[in-house]
Amino acid sequence: MFLITVLYLVFLAAPILLLLLGSFGDSWSNTLLPQGFTWRWYLEIAGDPSFRRAFITSLQVVVATCALNVIVGLPLAYAIHSAAHRGVRFAARLAALMPVAAPELVLAFGFILVFSSDTLPWLGSFWLLVAAHLVLTLPYSVTTLLADMEQLRLGDFENVAASLGAGFLQRARDVTVPLLGASLTSSLLTVAALSIGEFQISNLISGFLSRTYPVTLLQAFYGATGFACAATVVLLVLAALASVASSLTARVTGGKAS
Amino acid sequence: MLQLDNVSFWYPGAAVGVSDVSLEVRPGELVAVIGASGSGKTTLLNLLAGFLAPRQGRVVIDENDVSAMPPEKRDLGIVFQSYGLFPHMKAWENVAYPLKIRGVTAPERKKRAYEALVRVGMGNRSENGPRELSGGQQQRVALARALVFEPRGMLLDEPLSALDANLRVEMRDEILRVQRAAGIATLLVTHDQEEALSIADRVAVMRDGRLVQVAPPRELYDAPADEETARFVGEANLWRGSVVSSGKVKTPVGVLTCDTRGYRHGANVIVLVRPENVMPLIASSEKAPNAFAGSVEADRFLGSTRRLDLRVGDGSIRVETRIRNAIDRVTITPEAIRLLTPTNERQ
| Chain A residues touching residue B72 (CB < 8 angstroms) | 162-167
Q: Which has the minimum average pLDDT: A59-68, A117-126, B89-98, B111-120?
A: A117-126
Cβ <8 Å between A162 and B72: yes
The pairing of strands B76-79 and B153-157 is parallel
Q: Which residues of B touch A157 (CB under 8 A)?
A: 84, 86
> Rounded to an integer, what distance in angstroms lies between the CA atom of residue A79 and that of residue A154?
12
A165 touches chain B (CB under 8 A): yes
The 3-state DSSP class for residue A45 equals helix
Distance of CA A93 to the CA centre of its chain: 20
Domains of chain B in sequence order: 2-227 (3.40.50.300), 235-345 (no CATH)
**DSSP assignment of B12-71:** TT-S-EEEEEEEEE-TT-EEEEE--TTSSHHHHHHHHHTSS--SEEEEEETTEE-TT--G
- Mean pLDDT within B179-192: 92
> What ipTM does this complex have?
0.82
Best B42, B90, B97, B154 member to test A by mutation, with max A CBs in 10 Å, is: B97
CB contact under 8 A, A167 and B72: yes
Q: Where are the alpha helices (DSSP H) in A30-176?
A: 40-47, 49-68, 74-82, 86-101, 104-115, 126-151, 154-163, 168-171
The shortest CB-CB distance from B101 to any of A156, A170, A178 is to A170
For residue B237, list its beta bridge partners: B273
- Among A4-8, B10-14, B256-260, the range scoring the smallest mean pLDDT is B10-14
Least confident of A22-26, A166-170, B83-87, B210-214: A22-26
Residue A123: pLDDT over 90: no
User: pLDDT tens digit string along B220-251?
Assistant: 999 999 998 998 898 899 999 999 999 999 99
Strand pairing category for B2-10 and B248-251: unpaired
**Sequence-ordered list of residues with C-beta below 8 angstroms from that of A113, at least 6 positions apart, any chain:** none
Q: Which tops the pLDDT comparison, B9 or A241?
A: B9
Grade residue A247 by pLDDT with cuts at 50, 70 and 90: confident
- What are the φ and ψ backbone dihedral angles of A183, each rounded to 5 degrees? -65, -40
pLDDT per residue as tens digits for the range A135-188? 999 988 998 898 899 888 898 999 999 999 999 999 999 999 999 988 898 889
d(CA A26, CA A13): 22
Rounded alpha-carbon distances, angstroms, from residue A123 to A53, A202, B61: 19, 11, 60
Rounded Cα distance between B167 and B199, Å, is 15
Q: Between chains, do B87 and A162 touch, taking CB under 8 Å as contact?
A: no
- Structure confidence at residue B178 (pLDDT): 84
- Rounded Cα distance between B5 and B44, Å, is 12
- Number of Cβ pairs < 8 A linking chain A and chain B: 56
Q: How far is the C-alpha of B69 from the C-alpha of B58, rounded, in Å? A: 11
Contact check, Cβ <8 Å, B80/A162: no
Query: What's the longest Cα–Cα distance across chain B?
Result: 78
- Taking CB atoms and an 8 Å limit, are B82 and A163 in contact across chains? no
> Shortest Cα distance from B90 to chain A (angstroms)?
13
**Cβ–Cβ gap B145/A178 under 8 Å:** no
Over residues B164-169, the mean pLDDT reads 81
Residues of B in contact with A175 (CB under 8 A): 86
Q: What is the pLDDT of residues A70-108, one digit of tens each?
A: 999 999 888 888 876 777 778 777 777 777 778 888 888
Calpha distance A149→A146 (Å, rounded): 5
Question: Are the Cβ atoms of A160 and B86 closer than 8 angstroms?
Answer: yes
pLDDT band at A252 (very low <50, low <70, confident <90, very high): low
> Residue B347: pLDDT above 70?
no
- Are B176 and B199 in contact by the 8 Å Cβ rule? The answer is yes
Nearest CA in chain A to B97: A164
Answer yes or no: do B78 and A156 touch at CB < 8 A: no
Q: Per residue in A24-75, pLDDT tens?
A: 888 888 887 888 888 888 998 888 898 899 999 999 999 999 999 999 999 9
Residue B165 burial class via C-beta count within 10 angstroms: exposed 0-12, middle 13-18, buried 19 and up:
exposed
- Give the model's pLDDT for residue A258: 38
**pLDDT (0 to 100) of residue A21:** 87
Bridge pairing between strands B56-61 and B210-215: unpaired
Which of A156, A166, A179 lies closest to B72 in CB terms? A166
What whole-number distance in Å separates Cα of residue B50 and Cα of residue A34? 72
pLDDT at residue A256, as a whole number: 47
For the cut 90, the answer to whether the pLDDT of residue A18 exceeds it is no
Name the residue among B151, B192, B145, B218 with its Cα closest to residue B41: B192
Q: Which of A153, A159, A164 sits opposite B98 (nearest CB)?
A: A164
Show residues of chain B in contact with A162, CB under 8 Å. 50-51, 70-72
Instruction: Please provide the average confidence, as pLDDT, over all residues in chain A.
Output: 86
The four Cα atoms A80, A82, A84, A88 give a dihedral, to 10 degrees, of 0
| Residue B180: strand, helix, or coil | helix
Has residue A254 got a pLDDT over 60?
A: no
| Min Cα separation B328/chain A (Å) | 55
Cα distance between residue A197 and residue B108, in whole Å: 53
This prediction has a pTM of 0.80
Summarize the confidence of residues B175-191 as an average pLDDT. Answer: 91
User: For the CA atoms of A31, A36, A41, A44, what is the dihedral angle to 10 degrees?
Assistant: -130
Cβ distance B84 to A156 less than 8 Å, yes or no, reads: yes
Domain ranges of chain A: 45-257
B86 vs A contacts (CB less than 8 Å)? 157, 160-161, 174-175, 179
Tens digits of residue pLDDT in B291-346: 998 999 999 998 889 999 999 989 999 999 998 888 888 999 999 999 998 877 66
Q: What is the mean pLDDT of residues B146-154?
A: 92
DSSP-assigned letters across all residues of B203-229: EEEEETTEEEEEE-HHHHHHS-SSHHH
Taking only the tens place, the pLDDT of each residue in B18-50 is 999 999 999 999 999 999 888 999 999 999 999
Q: Which amino acid is at B193?
A: Q
- Give the pLDDT band (50/70/90) at residue B285: low
Q: Which residue type sits at A185?
A: T
φ and ψ at residue A187, rounded to 5 degrees: -70, -35
What residues does B338 pair with on adjacent strands? Answer: B272
Q: Using a CB–CB cutoff of 8 Å, tell me whether A47 touches chain B.
A: no
- Using alpha carbons, list the distances in angstroms from residue B262 to A209, B243, B268, B339, B340: 97, 11, 12, 10, 10
> Given an 8 Å threshold on Cβ–Cβ distance, is A162 in contact with B102?
no
Query: Residue A132: which pLDDT band, with cuts at 50, 70 and 90?
Result: very high
The predicted pLDDT at position A82 comes to 83
**How distant, in Å, are the alpha carbons of B182, B273, B308 from that of B237?**
40, 5, 12
Nearest-10 Cα torsion for A99, A100, A101, A106? 50
Q: Distances in Å between the alpha carbon of B49 and those of A225, A255, B28, B31, B43?
A: 69, 32, 18, 15, 10
Residues A45-257: name the CATH superfamily. MetI-like (1.10.3720.10)
Q: What's the confidence (pLDDT) of residue A257? A: 44
Listed by number, the residues of chain A in 86-125 with a beta carbon closer than 8 Å to a beta carbon of chain B are none
The C-alpha atoms of residue A135 and residue A106 are separated, in whole angstroms, by: 13
Q: H or E segment at B329? A: strand B329-332
B92-103 burial, b at 16+ Cβ within 10 Å, e below that, comes to bbbbbbbbbbee
Amino acid at the residue B268: N
Determine which of B11, B86, B99 to mutate to test the interface with A (most A C-beta atoms within 10 Å).
B86
Partners of B30 in beta bridges? B186
B97–A164 CB contact, under 8 Å: yes
Q: CA dihedral in degrees (A136, A139, A145, A147; nearest 10)?
A: -150
Kindly indicate the confidence band of residue B286, based on its pLDDT and cuts at 50, 70 and 90: low
At CB < 8 Å, which residues of chain B contact A? 49-51, 70-78, 80, 82, 84, 86-88, 97-98, 100-102, 145, 149
The Cβ-side half-sphere exposure at A22, using a 13 Å CA radius, reads 23
- Nearest C-alpha in B relative to A86: B12
